[in-house]
Chain A
Amino acid sequence: MAFAVWKACMRSQVKELSIIVRSPSVLHKCITKRYIEFKFFPEKPLEEDETTSMNLCQAINNALYTTLINDSTAIVFGEDVAFGGVFRCTLDLQKRFGKDRVFNTPICEQGIVGFGIGCAVAGSTAVAEIQFADYIYPAFDQLVNEAAKYRYRSGNEFDCGKLTVRAPWGAVGHGSLYHSQSPESFFTHAAGLKIVIPRSPFKAKGLLLACIQDKDPCIFFEPKVLYRAAVEDVPVREYTLPLGKADILVTGDAVTLIAWGTQVHILIEVADMVKDQLKVQCEVIDLVTVNPWDMETVCNSVKKTGRAVVAHEAPLTGGFASEIAAVIQEECFLHLEAPVQRVTGFDTPFPHVFEPFYLPDKWRCFDAIKKTLAY
């Protein structure tokens, strides 16, 4: 079933290359267009599905609504979620499900995650929100020392698999140091956590529902620049998409491009540029789950193409591209025609006015591919 959805999606992506930017205000549109440049590539679900057009926010909201209506133990909480959330992802949920199930917490991230773990231990489905991924670090101890290790250390007597932590993630055009971060690689070093990052409303709903229903604690990072900019048809029904499975979005034979979140759209666009200008076909992979990640899909692709470029917004050193590059060289050594390239943010804090120079945009990705091909 999931495979069929995928086939349909992949076909649609190859065909549709239109820019979709829908913003709530002219100001937002200007800021988005001016500082952060990417095209959103929508996907088409199965034809028999009843769908409705949703942006990423609405898809998240819909997944939470679906969870709350189907699972009577489910609760949604965090800072400012009661009135709908600062990004409107929890809009109307409190009105529909009551103050006991959708509620504000005090401003304290370590409390939010610790509280969520406890809810999960006692059998509730806990969906916690951290307002920005940049503010998840106060909860680092609860996530890494507690959530990640709960099942292991108790010999499976206790677990907090019913916990999902959602957090807005990634660059937004003007977010500066503390509204732009991509902290996924800090968490990939903690065995026991699953880290999931969707690229679209369709993926967001299916993956968030999968995270919530998964038996392990999950961190679900939502690319906030896509909250309103990404709009596509999303099935109305409840559906889940597999965790730990990468998506091949564009098939090709010249070079494998790997990314997740917003960066996937940049690579799809770059693949098109490469096709036009360099006359070769790139294979574009959305990793989807950063940990545990889909080595098989990535390595099979690199064995076919012989070249790989990994791109992410987070800084280079210690970024997850390093892990991917190391595994590729270990598994695909005899197939590699060029060194694995990493196109990432620089090893600096995320700057305000310099954001256009900081991000691994399409030109930096294009250049890396060009060099890889010429190696």
Chain B
Amino acid sequence: MVLGKCRGLVNNIRARIGMIRRQICSVGTSSVNLKPNVDMPLFPGPQSQWTERLELIHPLSYNRIPIYRVMDREGCVLNPDEPQLEKDFVEKMYRTMILLNTMDTILYESQRQGRISFYMTSFGEEATLIGSAGAIASNDLVYAQYRETGVLMWRGFSVDQCINQCFGNCEDKGKGRQMPLHYGSKSHNFVTISSPLTTQLPQAVGSAYAYKLAKNGQCVITYFGEGAASEGDAHAAFNFASTLKCPVIFFCRNNGYAISTPTHEQYGGDGIAGHGPSYGITTIRVDGNDALAVYNATKVSREYVLAENRPVLIEAMTYRLGHHSTSDDSTAYRSVDEVKQRDSLDSPILRLRRYLEMKGWWNDSKECSWKEETRKNVLKSLARAEKVLKPEWKEMFRDVYYDMPSQLVKQMKFMEAHIEQYRDKYPVDKYMNPV
């Protein structure tokens, strides 16, 4: 029944919201009219009916949630929902995907050369990121996991800013305190990334609640992988968002692996989307390699969460083409052939390119010149960022609290005196001078 409703999500928003309202009314009431002559269950909680048939509910007795798509692997539109997007908009989507892919390739290599300490690519997930980023408003708050660089790029966070963060130089907004890729920017409404998985989910729910009370017309989107969904915080977030009625989009990137762990060792049910209805969350599963499908699903979800003050769960099915990170060699747990086959059979970038070409909006010469331009820009940024000094070492002590406590002042002064004496033992020349 719930699945049937999901299927109609994009086709008819109004009808869908009406159906959901009816559904909520049937499960959400706790007050029951006690009529002594009517034989109905009176337990508090969701309303149900009696049955005299002894039957265990098998998970496969439900249909699996289908995967929504707009175009096939050749970029041909199959679905009447093709979003009527402007040429410039789709071209920007494609250009951002190429830019992300180019920066990933170069920074991955630069880590191999020891120029930055760590990196994580988004290979294979470009459509998931750009499709969803394009469908939300630029002032909607984003909470990311770490493989969402594309979302930040879509919002105008520059290659320079990305690379400054990876180097932790003095132009990094994070002041060089976190590992590479832990981006954040207040002006881009992108909350700073942290390594502990899934902690951002209940936080995103809290922010959505604050937005609801502020009535500012903004929503919150939070990204996470299918592995992260196993954490207790995911359960907390789904349940809080549902009971406290928060305008939040849970966007799951299901890319098949959590480092080395394949999904069949991660969950036994119908993926992550399968959780949604059980929490009372409106849900959709989407082809994550289809930028237009991701766009549609996110767009309609945004309208829904703001109109209804309720959460939506989107599960984007995709495949992690790259290694988990630069500290991982994925051939230790999956074959090179598997990756090659996936890449050749179903490339999210190629799919959008074919769509653009069919529209007559893109061609080989545009492709070559854009690729060349982005490559040059990324290399230029890299060379530049590498030479920029690190922040002064005293930044290590700042922002722990709003004001520095006296014991921390003491520790900073201790270090100052120590460096004075052992100056040649520390890389002070690579850092800004203390002021």
Query: Which of B74-82, B312-320, B400-408 is the interface stretch?
Result: B400-408
- Within 376-432 of B, Cβ neighbours of A (below 8 Å) are at 398-403, 405-408
Name the one of B178, B192, B206 contacting A117, with C-beta atoms under 8 angstroms.
B206
CB of B243 closer than 8 Å to a CB of A: yes
Name the one of B174, B194, B205, B244 contacting A157, with C-beta atoms under 8 angstroms.
B174
CB of B251 closer than 8 Å to a CB of A: no
Tell me, in angstroms, the Cα distance from A138 to B202 when the chains sit together: 13
Q: Is B213 in contact with A158, judged by CB distance below 8 angstroms?
A: no
Query: Which of A105-113, A229-237, A280-288 is the interface stretch?
Result: A105-113
CB of B167 closer than 8 Å to a CB of A: no
Tell me, in angstroms, the Cα distance from A120 to B177 when the chains sit together: 22
Known pairs A73-B210, A115-B240, A126-B206; A154 contacts B141 (CB<8 A): no
CB of A346 closer than 8 Å to a CB of B: no
Most chain A beta-carbon contacts within 10 A, residue among B178, B194, B240 = B240
CB of A103 closer than 8 Å to a CB of B: yes
Known pairs A115-B203, A123-B214, A295-B406; A153 contacts B186 (CB<8 A): no
Tell me, in angstroms, the Cα distance from A186 to B236 when the chains sit together: 23
CB of B285 closer than 8 Å to a CB of A: no
Tell me, in angstroms, the Cα distance from A111 to B208 when the chains sit together: 14
Q: Is A146 in contact with B399, judged by CB distance below 8 angstroms?
A: no
CB of B173 closer than 8 Å to a CB of A: yes
Known pairs A141-B196, A145-B194, A292-B406; A116 contacts B206 (CB<8 A): yes
Q: Is B213 in contact with A75, judged by CB distance below 8 angstroms?
A: yes
A113 neighbours in B (Cβ, 8 Å): 202
* CB of B1, distance to nearest CB on chain A (Å): 25
* CB of A216, distance to nearest CB on chain B (Å): 5
Known pairs A114-B203, A121-B206; A153 contacts B213 (CB<8 A): no
Q: Is A111 in contact with B236, judged by CB distance below 8 angstroms?
A: yes
CB of A18 closer than 8 Å to a CB of B: no
Tell me, in angstroms, the Cα distance from A121 to B192 when the chains sit together: 11
CB of B199 closer than 8 Å to a CB of A: yes
Q: Is A121 in contact with B191, judged by CB distance below 8 angstroms?
A: yes
CB of B239 closer than 8 Å to a CB of A: yes
Name the one of A105, A108, A154, A244 contacting B174, with C-beta atoms under 8 angstroms.
A154
Tell me, in angstroms, the Cα distance from A113 to B237 when the chains sit together: 11
CB of A191 closer than 8 Å to a CB of B: yes
B405 neighbours in A (Cβ, 8 Å): 244, 292
Q: Is B210 in contact with A153, judged by CB distance below 8 angstroms?
A: no
Q: Is A155 in contact with B175, judged by CB distance below 8 angstroms?
A: yes
A145 neighbours in B (Cβ, 8 Å): 194, 196, 199
A 60-104 to B, binary, CB cutoff 8 A, 1 in contact else 0: 000000000000010100000000000000000000000011010
**Which single residue of chain B is at the shortest CB-CB distance from A163?**
B206
Tell me, in angstroms, the Cα distance from A119 to B206 when the chains sit together: 4
CB of A151 closer than 8 Å to a CB of B: yes
Q: Is B232 in contact with A146, judged by CB distance below 8 angstroms?
A: no
Q: Is A119 in contact with B209, judged by CB distance below 8 angstroms?
A: yes
Q: Is A142 in contact with B178, judged by CB distance below 8 angstroms?
A: no
- Within 234-262 of B, Cβ neighbours of A (below 8 Å) are at 235-237, 239-240, 243-244
Known pairs A106-B239, A115-B240, A118-B206; A154 contacts B401 (CB<8 A): no
B186 neighbours in A (Cβ, 8 Å): 157-158
A 137-179 to B, binary, CB cutoff 8 A, 1 in contact else 0: 0100110011001111111111101000000000000000000
Known pairs A111-B240, A191-B400, A296-B406; A154 contacts B206 (CB<8 A): no
Q: Is A157 in contact with B185, judged by CB distance below 8 angstroms?
A: yes
**Which single residue of chain A is at the shortest CB-CB distance from B410?**
A295
- Within 182-204 of B, Cβ neighbours of A (below 8 Å) are at 182, 184-186, 191-192, 194, 196, 199, 201-204
Q: Is A292 in contact with B401, judged by CB distance below 8 angstroms?
A: yes
CB of A124 closer than 8 Å to a CB of B: yes
CB of A45 closer than 8 Å to a CB of B: no
CB of A122 closer than 8 Å to a CB of B: yes
Q: Is B400 in contact with A152, judged by CB distance below 8 angstroms?
A: yes
* CB of A296, distance to nearest CB on chain B (Å): 7
* CB of B52, distance to nearest CB on chain A (Å): 33
Known pairs A153-B174, A215-B402, A292-B405; A121 contacts B207 (CB<8 A): yes
**Which single residue of chain A is at the shortest CB-CB distance from B177?**
A153
Q: Is A153 in contact with B182, judged by CB distance below 8 angstroms?
A: yes
- Within 283-332 of A, Cβ neighbours of B (below 8 Å) are at 292, 295-296
CB of A192 closer than 8 Å to a CB of B: yes
Name the one of A100, A106, A111, A295 contacting B407, with C-beta atoms under 8 angstroms.
A295
Tell me, in angstroms, the Cα distance from A248 to B211 when the chains sit together: 44
CB of B172 closer than 8 Å to a CB of A: yes
Q: Is B184 in contact with A123, judged by CB distance below 8 angstroms?
A: no
Q: Is B401 in contact with A192, judged by CB distance below 8 angstroms?
A: yes
Known pairs A103-B244, A118-B202, A157-B185; A151 contacts B196 (CB<8 A): no
Q: Is B178 in contact with A114, judged by CB distance below 8 angstroms?
A: no
A138 neighbours in B (Cβ, 8 Å): 232
* CB of B84, distance to nearest CB on chain A (Å): 33
* CB of A190, distance to nearest CB on chain B (Å): 10
Known pairs A106-B239, A106-B240, A145-B196; A118 contacts B209 (CB<8 A): yes
Q: Is A122 in contact with B206, judged by CB distance below 8 angstroms?
A: yes
Tell me, in angstroms, the Cα distance from A151 to B404 when the chains sit together: 12
Q: Is B400 in contact with A115, judged by CB distance below 8 angstroms?
A: no
**Which single residue of chain A is at the shortest CB-CB distance from B198?**
A114
**Which single residue of chain A is at the shortest CB-CB distance from B248?**
A118
B 208-242 to A, binary, CB cutoff 8 A, 1 in contact else 0: 11110110000010000000000011011101100
Q: Is B402 in contact with A111, judged by CB distance below 8 angstroms?
A: no
**Which single residue of chain A is at the shortest CB-CB distance from B396?**
A152
A158 neighbours in B (Cβ, 8 Å): 184, 186, 191-192
B240 neighbours in A (Cβ, 8 Å): 105-106, 108, 111, 115
B235 neighbours in A (Cβ, 8 Å): 108, 111
Name the one of A108, A141, A216 contacting B402, with C-beta atoms under 8 angstroms.
A216
**Which single residue of chain A is at the shortest CB-CB distance from B187?**
A157
Q: Is B213 in contact with A151, judged by CB distance below 8 angstroms?
A: no
**Which single residue of chain B is at the shortest CB-CB distance from A100?**
B213
A295 neighbours in B (Cβ, 8 Å): 406-407
Tell me, in angstroms, the Cα distance from A148 to B401 when the chains sit together: 9
Most chain A beta-carbon contacts within 10 A, residue among B194, B201, B232, B399 = B399
Q: Give 8 A-B pairs besides A118-B143, A157-B174, A292-B408 with Cβ atoms closer than 8 angstroms.
A: A108-B235, A121-B207, A122-B211, A122-B220, A154-B173, A155-B172, A159-B402, A295-B407
24 intermolecular pairs with C-beta atoms under 8 Å apart: A75-B213, A100-B213, A103-B244, A105-B243, A106-B243, A108-B235, A108-B236, A114-B199, A115-B203, A118-B143, A118-B210, A121-B203, A121-B207, A123-B210, A123-B214, A145-B196, A153-B174, A155-B175, A155-B184, A155-B192, A161-B402, A214-B402, A292-B406, A295-B407
| Interfacial residues, chain A to chain B (CB-CB below 8 A) | 73, 75, 100-101, 103, 105-106, 108, 110-111, 113-124, 126, 138, 141-142, 145-146, 149-159, 161, 191-192, 194, 214-216, 244, 292, 295-296
Among all A-B residue pairs, the 10 with the closest Cβ atoms: A118-B206, A114-B202, A111-B236, A118-B203, A154-B192, A292-B405, A122-B210, A215-B402, A122-B207, A115-B206
